[in-house]
Structure 1
Amino acid sequence: MDTVYSYSIGLMSGTSLDGLDLVYVKFNNQMYLDFQILNATTIPYSEKWKAILQNAIQYSVEDLVDLDIRYGRFLADSILDFIKTNSISRVDFIASHGHTVLHQPEKGITLQVGSGQVIATRTQQKVVCDFRTQDVKLGGQGAPLVPIGDELLFSNYTYCINLGGFSNVSFRQNGTRIAFDICPVNIVLNFYVSKLGMDFDDKGEMSSQGSVNEELLQKLNELDFYEKAYPKSLGLEWVQQIVFPLIDKMEVEVPIILRTFVEHIAIQISKVVQKNSRVLFTGGGVYNSFLMHRIEVLSSNSVLQVSDEMINYKEALIFSFLGLLRIKNEINCLKSVTGASHDHSSGVIFEV
């Protein structure tokens, strides 16, 4: 049996509810830079699942326990389909991010649903999940978790920026990897475009036709979060309690909201990245050509082209990697990134 390489399936479900990302990855156990995404797919959420996951924040404890099991079954069945479709014969473990329902690290709370035991039992595979809880118990933000992957797999870039529900960045400063959430992205853009019956603003077409509302832009840029020192992270609750009410109070049309918010994103990102740097942009937001154009203009950085596979599946790939590090009991959570009391190996392992 090949022990040099590990073969695993990584799962990622982001806050923008685009769908469930699955990757089948091969990692060299001795030299992590030697990795390969062998298969990858996204399973879009049905309207029913979208509504459930969107509203789970209001659920009672009993309902959340039930959802944890039901969503675990959904994940397990998605994995089994993925294995069958791609004729996958070897899986050493599954690493699942789960879906974040609550994230309030300042109160010591973080909750991802998708029972690891249900997945393990149903797929008959070892499962690593629940990567955030331990970090929060150690006084950390429980996020972001991807930077250890940036450090060990993508160190040839000065900045790694993901444009998903939120944008987050990771980079080295004075020899230490730091990372934080920059601002909301698709969680806001998709919400407003959905009012017009669309899932997303294709290539930023609609936002490019709107005009910037200077008053709204100023209010967005003055939000307290942007003044905070890192480590810092954002959650759905913050957007629902702070951002949506701020925008809705202005009573402006959707194209204007989109155009203004695109400008807001580009301004916040350009504050973080230095000019003429090597920046790896990944996540669904990369396909918003207008947004990328504004980021290029305001940050004076040209956007480096990477494969669609890397744009879409980098986070799922890194969760697979976090699982590998956890199984080997190696550090996968950096205190410099999350603010935890020490570096640690996070994640709960479920056996069949």
Structure 2
Amino acid sequence: MIKSNYRVIAVMSGTSLDGIDIIFATYMYNNGWSFKIHHFETVKYSKNWKSTLGDLVNNSINELQDIDNSYSEYLTTVISNFIKKHKIETIDFIASHGHTALHQPENGLTYQIGNKQILADILNEKIICDFRIQDVKFGGQGAPLVPIGDRLLFQDYDYCLNLGGFANISFEYNAERIAYDICPVNIVLNHYVSKLNLDYDDKGQLASMGKVNQKLFSELNKLDFYNQQPPKSLGLEWVGLNIFPLIDSFKLKLEDILRTFVEHVAFQISKALLKEGEAVLVTGGGVYNEFFINRLKNFSKLRIIIPKNEIVEFKEALIFGFLGVLKARNEVNCLKSVTGASHNHSSGKILIQNT
């Protein structure tokens, strides 16, 4: 008989390099899915890890494999500490999203580090991981993967908008789930404030002091990606090729860079939000950028709903845990309407401790 209750640890790391998000949650099925998050925290990266992860696209495959081994071993320490700290005794499995090293679906390539056999061997738990690679093999983008969770766990909202390293959106359209990356957000803003030895622009205060450079604003909005139809997704490589060189060519003051890019992001997101008065669930670190949220409200006419902090900060980890649940049940966790794959499928691999 298939289970209706799952106790899961889920870990993930996003492109904004805030740290490793880790949660312990229960997922319950009774004529529909519900969840309860019991424990949650973000383990900040050391300077060395932050530097290493921020430079992954410049490594060879052999170098990435070495980093993958080290990162997977590091994850076992983070997870083990979390289990001990919260005295967690019963776990059905651990879901690991890992960290995106390469994402070039147009070349049939995606690579997540943090999904090695060592996780199962050291932790002595079932691991469900590597959720993207199968979708790319089926001709999909391998991203975004969160929309199946949006559909089944957050069905009360018209749109689910996440503001992390990238902004992505998910919604129902003609009885299908549609989702895609809209534009970069924190991956760009944090890059520029790091020049001041800051992790982020607190509440958007620096951006609020700048002025919009209309020429840069216009050039950003002309980028080809914004004219492409979904499914589509973004990676660090695209930002490095298209965003940073363009911004840097203008030689603007930092505040003006931030102000202009905030305006660009608010504008691009407003184009994706279709109908006035509908409910938008907004999560991710960008929620705390009050100046940006105000600019988004200025551009759009929707009801922007910001949930409690554990959902704002850990919704993606929660949903990757849920992808693991669906994989354990051999149920669809990856939608072709979202990724462009040849068919819906149950993605991820299962690792069991070697005996």
Cα distance in 2, alignment partners of residues 150 and 114 from structure 1: 24
Structure 1 partner of 2:314: 313
Secondary structure of the residue aligned to 2:33 is coil
Is 1:95 equivalent to 2:67 in the alignment?
Answer: no
Gaps of 5+ in 1: none
Cα distance in 1, alignment partners of residues 346 and 257 from structure 2: 41
Cα distance in 2, alignment partners of residues 192 and 24 from structure 1: 33
The 8 Å contact of residues 97 and 115 in structure 2, kept in 1 or not, is answered as no
What do residues 115-163 of structure 1 show as CA deviations (whole Å, max 9, x unaligned)? 3311111110000111000000000000000000001010110000000
Secondary structure of the residue aligned to 2:110 is strand
User: Cα offset for 1:277?
Assistant: 1.1
Moved more, 62-71 or 117-126: 62-71
User: Cα offset for 1:3?
Assistant: 5.1
Cα distance in 1, alignment partners of residues 19 and 101 from structure 2: 15
User: Cα offset for 1:301?
Assistant: 2.3
TM-score, length-scaled by structure 2: 0.97
Structure 2 partner of 1:223: 223
Is 1:144 equivalent to 2:144 in the alignment?
Answer: yes
What do residues 142-197 of structure 1 show as CA deviations (whole Å, max 9, x unaligned)? 00000000010101100000000000000000111000000000000000011111
Secondary structure of the residue aligned to 2:191 is helix
The 8 Å contact of residues 132 and 347 in structure 2, kept in 1 or not, is answered as yes
Question: Partner amino acid for 2:346?
Answer: S
Question: Partner amino acid for 1:56?
Answer: L
TM-score, length-scaled by structure 1: 0.98
User: Cα offset for 1:220?
Assistant: 0.5
The 8 Å contact of residues 169 and 181 in structure 1, kept in 2 or not, is answered as yes
The 8 Å contact of residues 94 and 125 in structure 2, kept in 1 or not, is answered as yes
**May I ask how many residue pairs the two structures share in their alignment?**
351
Moved more, 182-191 or 108-117: 108-117
Secondary structure of the residue aligned to 2:197 is coil
User: Cα offset for 1:34?
Assistant: 2.2
Identity of aligned residues (%): 53
User: Cα offset for 1:30?
Assistant: 4.3
Moved over 3 A (4+): 29-32
Alignment of 1:1-352 (within 5 A): 4-273=4-273, 274-352=275-353
The 8 Å contact of residues 116 and 128 in structure 1, kept in 2 or not, is answered as no
User: Cα offset for 1:62?
Assistant: 2.1
Cα distance in 1, alignment partners of residues 173 and 315 from structure 2: 22
What do residues 278-331 of structure 1 show as CA deviations (whole Å, max 9, x unaligned)? 000000000000000001110022421310000000000000000010011000
Question: Partner amino acid for 1:305?
Answer: I
Gaps of 5+ in 2: none
Cα distance in 1, alignment partners of residues 32 and 48 from structure 2: 39
The 8 Å contact of residues 72 and 115 in structure 1, kept in 2 or not, is answered as yes
Cα distance in 2, alignment partners of residues 33 and 325 from structure 1: 11
Cα distance in 2, alignment partners of residues 350 and 120 from structure 1: 6
Secondary structure of the residue aligned to 1:250 is coil
The 8 Å contact of residues 10 and 320 in structure 1, kept in 2 or not, is answered as yes
Question: Partner amino acid for 1:249?
Answer: S
The 8 Å contact of residues 287 and 306 in structure 2, kept in 1 or not, is answered as no
Secondary structure of the residue aligned to 2:94 is strand
